[in-house]
Structure 1
């Protein structure tokens, strides 16, 4: 799994609402690892894709850019982070 960060700058309250609208457009089982974090300058979404190749295709796709714009989010700064070595979410362990 390849982890990336999508940084959206602006008012966190406004961005969280827009992020919620964007999430409504995706099937709930689409995400393997996904977290939205409120920061001092906006929100950062951490997203795990099955591979770096999948990340590279998704992050520049017209579908993703359209979903971001339709939700009212600004285009994000996208930061590729790397391969996930270990992750825990509740009682689920990803390795």
Structure 2
């Protein structure tokens, strides 16, 4: 599993509804590991893909970029983080 961070700069009150709209466009079982965090400069979405190769294709693919535009999100700064050694997920948390 390969983890990456998608940094969206802007005011969270504008970004979060757009992020929620984007997320609703994906089937719930699509996400292996996924978290949206409010930061001091916007939001950061941590997302895992099965492999680095899948991440590289997805993150620049026309389907993803089109989904961002349709949801009203700016193009993010994408940070490849690395292979996940261990992860624990409890229950889903939504605010």
Pairs aligned (count): 91
Q: How does 1:73-92 map to 2 (within 5 A)?
A: 73-90=73-90
Q: Which runs of 4+ in 1 moved over 4 A?
A: none
* Unpaired stretches in structure 1, ≥5 consecutive residues: none
| Matched residue, 1:4 | 4
TM-score with structure 2 setting the length? 0.93
- The Cα of 1:90 is off from its aligned counterpart by 1.1
* Partners of 1:12 and 1:89 in 2: CA distance: 24
Deviations 1:11-67 (A, max 9, x none): 011101100000111111101000000001000000000000000000000000000
TM-score norm. by structure 1 comes to 0.93
Classify the secondary structure of the residue corresponding to 1:47.
strand
Q: Which has the higher strand share?
A: 1
Q: Secondary structure at the match of 1:90?
A: coil
Give the Cα separation in 2 of the matches to 1:42 and 1:34. 17
Give distance in 2, aligned partners of 1:71 and 1:26: 12
Superposed counterparts of 1:1-95, under 5 Å: 1-90=1-90
CA RMSD of aligned residues (A): 0.9
